[in-house]
Structure 1
Amino acid sequence: MKRILIFGDSNSHGTVPLRVLGQSDRFAPGVPWPDVLAAQTGHSVFTEGLPGRTTVFEDPVDGGARNGAAVLPAVLLSHVPLDAVVILLGTNDLKPRFATSAFDIAKSVERLVGIVRALVPAAKVLVVSPAPVTETGVLADAFAGAEARQAGLDGHLEAAALRVGAGFARAGDYAEVSPVDGVHLEADGHRALAMGLIPHVDALLAAPPKTGGGLPAPDPSAPEPPVTLARAVPPDWVDYNNHMNEAFYLTAFSDAADQMLHWAGMDADCVAAGASVFTVETHIRHLGEVSIGDALRVTTRVVQGGGKKLHLWHEMWVGDALCATGEQLLLHMDLRARTSALPPERIADWLGRAKVAHGPLSLPDGFGRSVAQRT
């Protein structure tokens, strides 16, 4: 059982669509989507949903501690330990009184993710883009112009999540706002949203700690090396030369190796039982500059696997440009004896199948290379 915090607004609170201003009805327990999520997964879900909550803005009209960034630290510390935090905010930021843009809403959510990371670094984060609003009913004036302002919000939030290594989902893929007020979900919308988000939450919780939102597990018998890391370059990876510091190339390739090992079955229980890997050698070639915000994609090929040695070849791409390669040799270890050992059977099988699948590929340029200079 995992501990999950939902940090949201009235649609997490369970507010019933408004037919008259001032209405404050709330769906019965078990109906709001966080309750459905808890019932379906068995996890402990803590709902912190406040009607009118914004990402970072004080509300000059409604007041009432609506600024999400201001209250998030206390909320987090009230519920630790936490395995995951789901952030579903941005709808109220669309009100004309805040005069903000879709881009700035996404940047504000990115700030909230930073607060989570600072106070509860072990918690994984899922950013959920809110269901698109419509200007109708008694809230039409309160959300005047929101339909235009929300244009591009999904994309900006997805990019923000990628930058900070968080998971991402679109509420609008699973639920629509009620035609009654254009903002709130009906009961069936709550259930649909919860059921749609469950796979995202499962993937988030199953991902190894360093990979953020996680990636879908590939078929190890597929001939193409899988994508083992997909994220944007965050600000703290950039150095005084205004490009990614060399230390974080190693971080990226290490995270990619962890992702592949996790797919193979080397999860927390496996490590607790004494089976892990130690890195013996890594050789990195820097082929092109990588800058802040660039969307990194690492693919990983198994050159040798199934026995004590694991030999990996990583390629780091930005778009169609190959920016770096990493050749990595690891040893499977018995952590209790602190000696090399054969991996557990399921891991050996997965990596062995990947090695066979990748075997027909030609050896890449730079493979097996030592440090060299062109003269």
Structure 2
Amino acid sequence: MANILIYGDSNSHGTKPLKVLGGFDRYGAQARWPEVMARMLGPGHDVICEGLPGRTTVFHDPVDGGNRNGAEVLSAVLLSHAPLDLVIVMLGTNDLKPRFATSAFDIGKSVERLLRETRALLPEVALMAIAPAPVREAGVLTEAFAGAEARQVGLAGHIRAAAERVGAAFVAAGAYVAVSDVDGVHWEAEAHTTFGAVMAEAVAALIDVAVPKAPGGLDAPDPGCGGLFRTLAMQVPRDWVDYNGHMNEAHYLRAFSDATDQMLEWAGMDANCVAEGHSVFTVETHIRHLGEVDIGDVLEVRTRVIEGGAKKLHVWHELRVGEALCATGEQLLLHMDLSTRRSAQPRADVGDWLRRACAAGRDLPLPEGLGRFVGQR
């Protein structure tokens, strides 16, 4: 079990995108990415978030004040929560304000200073640096971040280099999430869900913990209520782009696979279930591409169990952006006994959940496109 400290600014604090200058609102604890990460890591890990809106790496804020110099209070924060196994630093966004007149190179060096000071105070601690998602000059914060888009060029690379020099792990948030169009700085709720899942995997690799494959973080539904379950909600990351400038076809399969995994996790097929020898193998998948999905879009997958509870699991997925149906996925899976590598009945609790989910949608009309094969008009 690990004690993990996140040292960040408003996007760790959970500040919502600002519609009015001087306004303020915060996501509930369950929606913020540090809490999403903590849930996915599982019980026993102590995840402490020290996120202060407006915090910089090394600068006093002459306008807003408020002890926002991250270097000045770092030692007090570290010692307040010691002993620690991992310290995660995600700072640099606020350094881009014109009042600080700094560069991407110097922001990277400032992050390096924080990492080195942490290592000096806590020699055994593991470190991770996160390059913040690139800002945009938009909305009520346009003037507050005037010129930031130009100054941030190369920032992720400089923070990566700083992390390498110190021996810290590195994650580029901009590879997975984008800032909100509302104010160009803060994140929508879906981005917190996505990034919390990304961070759970990254942290698990450092502290040797197994986490569910699915992006997760969604509350488990009652399988007897409703036929379609919301199994995935995420913002399309930048590295899912293809040469046409939209989401690559391989990632539709990933989205549907993650949606299936989320549903199976709800049903009880977690890491312990697989360790006992109960799993599923995919036999067939059919995907229809009905509309473009762009990088930065917030997509949602809803899933229906067409047949489930016995050896066969037949599921139907609908992938939407807003109200637009952009793709459907149909999958046939077989429950397997991993000791024999042959099909088998699911574990009793898993089978019961899937039977109830199937029964809940029995009176619904079959989806248009179910059972389709590749054909031409």
TM-score range normalised by the length of the shorter chain: 0.5 to 0.7
Matched, 1:167 2:202: no
From 232, 237, 241, the equivalent of 2:235 is: 232
2:7 and 2:51 in contact (8 A); partners too: no
Q: 1:313 to 1:58 in 2, by over 3 A?
A: same
How far the C-alpha of 1:258 sits from its partner, in A, is 0.9
2:279 and 2:337 in contact (8 A); partners too: yes
Q: 1:237 to 1:49 in 2, by over 3 A?
A: closer
How far the C-alpha of 1:349 sits from its partner, in A, is 1.6
AA at the equivalent of 1:158: W
- 1:125-204 paired onto structure 2 within 5 Å: 152-153=182-183, 156-159=185-188, 162=191, 165-167=194-196
Q: Which residue is 1:67 aligned to?
A: 107
From 206, 212, 220, the equivalent of 1:217 is: 220
Q: Which residue is 2:342 aligned to?
A: 339
Counterpart CA distance in 1 for 2:342 and 2:286 is 23
Counterpart CA distance in 1 for 2:288 and 2:113 is 41
Counterpart CA distance in 2 for 1:19 and 1:237 is 39
Q: Which residue is 2:317 aligned to?
A: 314
- 1:1-375 paired onto structure 2 within 5 Å: 1-8=1-8, 12=50, 46=87, 54=94, 67=107, 71=111, 75=115, 79-80=125-126, 99=146, 119=169, 152-153=182-183, 156-159=185-188, 162=191, 165-167=194-196, 208-211=212-215, 214-374=217-377
Gaps of 5+ in 1: 130-149, 169-200
Q: 1:35 to 1:314 in 2, by over 3 A?
A: farther
How far the C-alpha of 1:55 sits from its partner, in A, is 6.0
AA at the equivalent of 2:281: F
AA at the equivalent of 2:212: P
Counterpart CA distance in 2 for 1:166 and 1:301 is 26
How far the C-alpha of 1:264 sits from its partner, in A, is 1.2
Give the 3-state SS of the residue equivalent to 1:306 in structure 2. Answer: coil
Note the alpha carbon deviations across 1:131-176, whole angstroms, 9 max, x for none: xxxxxxxxxxxxxxxxxxx9955x85324962992139xxxxxxxx
How far the C-alpha of 1:256 sits from its partner, in A, is 0.7
Q: 1:280 to 1:68 in 2, by over 3 A?
A: same
1:85 and 1:126 in contact (8 A); partners too: no
AA at the equivalent of 1:294: D
Q: 1:156 to 1:208 in 2, by over 3 A?
A: farther
Gaps of 5+ in 2: 14-49, 56-64, 120-124, 136-140, 198-202, 204-208
Could you state the TM-score of these two structures normalised by the residue count of structure 1?
0.59
Note the alpha carbon deviations across 1:302-348, whole angstroms, 9 max, x for none: 11111111110001111111111100011111222222222222211
Counterpart CA distance in 1 for 2:185 and 2:263 is 28
How far the C-alpha of 1:4 sits from its partner, in A, is 2.8
Q: % of aligned pairs identical?
A: 47
Q: 1:151 to 1:223 in 2, by over 3 A?
A: closer
Counterpart CA distance in 1 for 2:66 and 2:335 is 63
Give the 3-state SS of the residue equivalent to 1:167 in structure 2. Answer: helix
1:59 and 1:67 in contact (8 A); partners too: no
How far the C-alpha of 1:265 sits from its partner, in A, is 1.5
Counterpart CA distance in 1 for 2:75 and 2:297 is 45
Counterpart CA distance in 1 for 2:298 and 2:51 is 34
AA at the equivalent of 2:6: I
2:98 and 2:144 in contact (8 A); partners too: no
Counterpart CA distance in 1 for 2:126 and 2:114 is 10
Q: 1:364 to 1:160 in 2, by over 3 A?
A: closer
1:161 and 1:167 in contact (8 A); partners too: no
Q: 1:304 to 1:207 in 2, by over 3 A?
A: farther
| Range 311-320 or range 329-338, more displaced | 329-338
1:57 and 1:68 in contact (8 A); partners too: no
Counterpart CA distance in 2 for 1:292 and 1:126 is 10
CA-atom RMSD, angstroms?
5.5
